[in-house]
Structure 1
Amino acid sequence: MDRLSLIGIFLGLIAIVGGQMLEGGTISSLLQLTAFLIVMGGTIGAVLLQSSTGSFIMGVKMLRWVLMPPSAALEPWVKSLVNWSNTARRGGLLALETPLMGEKDPFVKRALQMLVDGAEPEAIRHTMDLEIGAYEEKHRAAAKIWESAGGYAPTIGILGAVMGLIHVMENLTDPSKLGSGIAVAFVATIYGVGSANLLFLPIGNKLKQIIASEVKRRELLAEGLVAIAHGENPRIIESKLRGFLV
């Protein structure tokens, strides 16, 4: 659980609601279903229009990373790579079949399989680099839906405000209907700007940081596994990999 993200979400919401109450307002005045439908519906529609099905679905699934991100610890992988290097040094690359059978990470499993099969180090490096590049491109495209939502939401909020003002102008002769139109106008703007800057844009940036950490982990694994394929000394491999921990 990423407590910092949880604290950030609650702090942002409390600041807005608390500020509203300190000014003498009520929470109910910020709850406007019409404004919510305009902003959220319009924003989702715009994001759907610009995104592929795969990117949109993956972007929604990645939302869980905001609170439960994959582990970014590199130290355990350095230790594993050094152990694998020692194993290969003592018993040859075929001795890596044992860790291969117990490995759950598909990326690592494929690379270990290539090592056991006796693939050339250059072929292993090329394959892993292709996988890293494809992973980064695919996940960045998915994370981009949140950045896009952060760009569209304020504009849709302004659109909702204009629609509310149109409603006000149409009912100038009926004071009883003016309040609802003005409420939609101002609350739609709050929903648009607030959701963009408190949720969508921060979520997009958070996901990009997580993707960068995952790419770094894979680059460390590629460097270590290729070094094992070259038969480098385990101590040299460890020294090289610790450069990723800085």
Structure 2
Amino acid sequence: MDIAAIAGLVIATASVLWMQNHEGGALGDILLPGPLVLVFIGTLGVGLMGGTLKDGLASVGQLKKAFLSKPKNSADTVGVLVKMAERARREGLLALEDAIKEVDDPFLRDGLQTAIDGTDPDELYEILTAQIQAKKAADKQNAKIFGDMGGYAPTVGICGTVVSLTVVLQNLSDAAALGPMIGAAFVATLWGVASANFFFLPVQSRLMRLSGLEVAQMELVVEGILAIQAGSNPRSVARKLESLLPPGTAVADAKKAA
């Protein structure tokens, strides 16, 4: 599990609560049920309106992915591909049919199986790249709903403030209560802005970053499969794939993985 997202959310939320306490206010003054429900539930509602029910249901899984998933180690994938290239070079492409059953990555496993089935290299490339493009489109839509909610949340918070101020205006005769009531009215705006910048927009960025890493991993796999299918020398396969890894870690990580 990559703790960056969880740690970031905890730090950001704690900074708001610390400031409230530092300024002499009580935490209960900003943890009001009304504004919290309006901002988070109301923003969720308008977010769902901008997509389909399927998009909304998928967002639950995307939240889990954003906070709990860990990017795959591309160097490990290079090691697997090099071993496959060595075996294919030594025993032939059909010898990989049993080996691919132990491969965890479904994209790599299915791609190798398609190559073993004798698919033309050009057609194989088209099939695999089409899957990558489909994933890019799906990931973009899955992240978009959080970006949309990040745009809606501040305005939803302002709506909550307006509602609270109407109550304040109806109680102008109670001068002693005006201060606390006006302060409470702006809590919705606080959480609207905070939720957008501390949660919804960062989740969108996180999902797009994870998508980019996964797509890069898939593109690495495509290059490896095509090289294996062509019968390339395993050392050449290793050098080619290492060149696609992040600079500074490519050679060491790839050899370690192998």
Structure 2 residues without counterparts, runs of 5 or longer: 247-258
Q: Which residue of structure 2 aligns with residue 197 of structure 1?
A: 197
Task: Report matched runs for 1:61-76 at 5 Å.
Answer: 61-76=61-76
Deviation at 1:180, TM superposition (A): 6.6
Structure 1 residues without counterparts, runs of 5 or longer: none
CA contact (8 A) 1:58 1:142 kept: yes
CA displacement 1:120-169 (0-9 Å, x = unmatched): 11111110000011011112201111111111000111111111111211
Runs of 4+ in 1 over 4 A off after TM superposition: 174-181
CA displacement 1:17-72 (0-9 Å, x = unmatched): 11111111010101211112221222111100011222222222121223322333
Deviation at 1:183, TM superposition (A): 4.2
Q: How many residues align?
A: 246
SS of the equivalent of 1:51 reads coil
1:216 aligns with 2:216: yes
Looking at structure 1, the residues matched to 66 and 138 of structure 2 have their Cα atoms a distance apart, in angstroms, of 18
CA contact (8 A) 1:160 1:184 kept: no
Looking at structure 2, the residues matched to 43 and 215 of structure 1 have their Cα atoms a distance apart, in angstroms, of 30
CA contact (8 A) 1:164 1:183 kept: no
SS of the equivalent of 1:245 reads coil
Aligned Cα root-mean-square deviation (Å): 1.7
1:99 aligns with 2:99: yes
Q: Which residue of structure 2 aligns with residue 39 of structure 1?
A: 39
Q: Which residue of structure 1 aligns with residue 114 of structure 2?
A: 114
1:129 aligns with 2:129: yes
Q: Which residue of structure 2 aligns with residue 52 of structure 1?
A: 52
CA contact (8 A) 2:157 2:188 kept: yes
Q: Which residue of structure 2 aligns with residue 4 of structure 1?
A: 4
CA contact (8 A) 2:2 2:70 kept: no
Are residues 12 and 165 of structure 1, via their aligned partners in 2, closer, same or farther at CA, if it must alter by over 3 Å? same
**Percent identity (aligned):** 35
Output the amino acid matched with 1:105.
Answer: D
CA contact (8 A) 2:71 2:210 kept: no
Q: Which residue of structure 2 aligns with residue 83 of structure 1?
A: 83
